[in-house]
Amino acid sequence: MQNIFLETMQSIAVRIQDAIDVKDMGYSQHENSSGDTQLQLDIQCDFIVEEELSKIPSIHTIASEEKEHAMLLNKDGKYFIAYDPLDGSSLVDVNLSVGSIFGIYEGGWGAQHMIASCYIIYGPRVEMIFAQNKVKLFLLQNNLFEFVKEIRLKEKGNINAPGGTQQNWLPYHKEMVDSFFAEGYRLRYSGGMVPDLHQILLKGGGLFSYPPTADRPEGKLRKLFEVYPFAFIFKVAGGEISDGTNKDMMNLPHDHIHGTSPCFFGSKYEMKRMKEIYKKNA
């Protein structure tokens, strides 16, 4: 299955990297379904991904973070692909890393249907993480993704990446975040989900949190395009995930393609504390 997507991911990575390098950064007139003003670059990257995924006959439907509705490609296909063509695109004009995220679902939308996930990171190097039964790191070399190594999380890391506006955090969330700093954890947060989680994965562990906040009780990050793909990767890499409740995140019923959820991803040690604190305060 990875092979079906590898070539397509290569083409997407090369074309988006080129678009990032040269494209004028003006704002378009459009708003996407999450209410953000869409950058020209977002629209261009969305078009690139749509064009490349359309070449795969086994894809049934695609849904983009940039489009309100899902799009049927082949009624006999079995894969449902949800993608965020350029996550963190507001970071491009300050030249920080950004990424493309893909959730690969079979037979329908929702966490239970997820069978693989993948992201591409555009940084000093272009890399890809592909997760199915293992989490594999690839490096783009001469327009081809070369396998580098398998990624496994350690039991405990030393990175703390807390998302959202502190002013709107719940008091127990702040206590949890502070407790890690008090233990020597270092703050690593660029505001791009892909590089922030890539760092935790590659350095072996830590905690990324985007909690329920006073202004966004359902979190900010989109389930199909962002939360489930990373949840899947962290599980396969030997880490833990949570949406802040006692429910199994990968069993939540599907609601809307643009639905959001609070999310926590990390290595086992940090996630154990997170779950205990959230359970106590539920």
Find the binder of ligand FDP among 42, 87, 240, 270 (CB under 6 A): 87
CA 50 to chain centre: 18
Shortest Cβ distance from residue 192 to ligand FDP (Å)? Answer: 5
205 binds ligand FDP (CB under 6 A): no
Distances (CA, A) of 275 to 84, 140, 251, 263: 28, 37, 17, 11
**Least distance between ligand FDP and beta carbon 228 (Å):** 14
| Phi, psi angles (nearest 5°) of residue 127 | -130, 160
Stretch binding ligand FDP (CB under 6 A), from 69-77, 113-121, 190-198, 228-236: 190-198
User: Does the footprint of ligand FDP cover residue 157 (CB under 6 A)?
Assistant: no
Query: Using the rule CB under 6 A, which residue among 57, 108, 191, 217 binds ligand FDP?
Result: 191
Both structure tokens of 148: 């580098």
Q: Total binding residues for ligand FDP by CB under 6 A?
A: 13
Question: Which one of residues 85, 103, 110, 163 is an interface residue with ligand FDP (CB under 6 A)?
Answer: 163
Taking the complex as a whole, how short is the minimal distance between the CB of residue 170 and ligand FDP, in angstroms?
A: 15
Nearer to ligand FDP (CB atom), residue 131 or residue 161: 161
Task: Choose the stretch contacting ligand FDP; rule: CB under 6 A; options: 38-46, 83-91, 108-116, 174-182.
Answer: 83-91
Residues 126-155, one symbol each (x = binds ligand FDP by CB under 6 A, - = not), give: ------------------------------
Q: How far is residue 13's CA from residue 129's CA, in Å, rounded to a whole number?
A: 12
Terminal alpha carbon distance of the chain:
40
Q: Which stretch binds ligand FDP (CB under 6 A): 86-94, 114-122, 125-133, 240-248?
A: 86-94
Q: Does 220 bind ligand FDP (CB under 6 A)?
A: yes
51 Cβ contact partners less than 8 Å away, ≥ 6 residues apart: none
42 binds ligand FDP (CB under 6 A): no
Q: Where are the alpha helices (DSSP H) in the chain?
A: 2-22, 40-53, 171-182, 193-203, 228-236, 268-281
217 belongs to the binding site for ligand FDP (CB under 6 A): no
Cα-Cα-Cα-Cα dihedral of 191, 263, 52, 37, to 10°? -50
SS3 of 245-273: the string is: CCCCHHHCCCCCCCCECCEEEECHHHHHH
Q: Which residue has the tokens 């900010």?
A: 220
Q: Interface residues with ligand FDP (CB under 6 A)? A: 87-90, 163-164, 191-193, 196, 220-221, 226
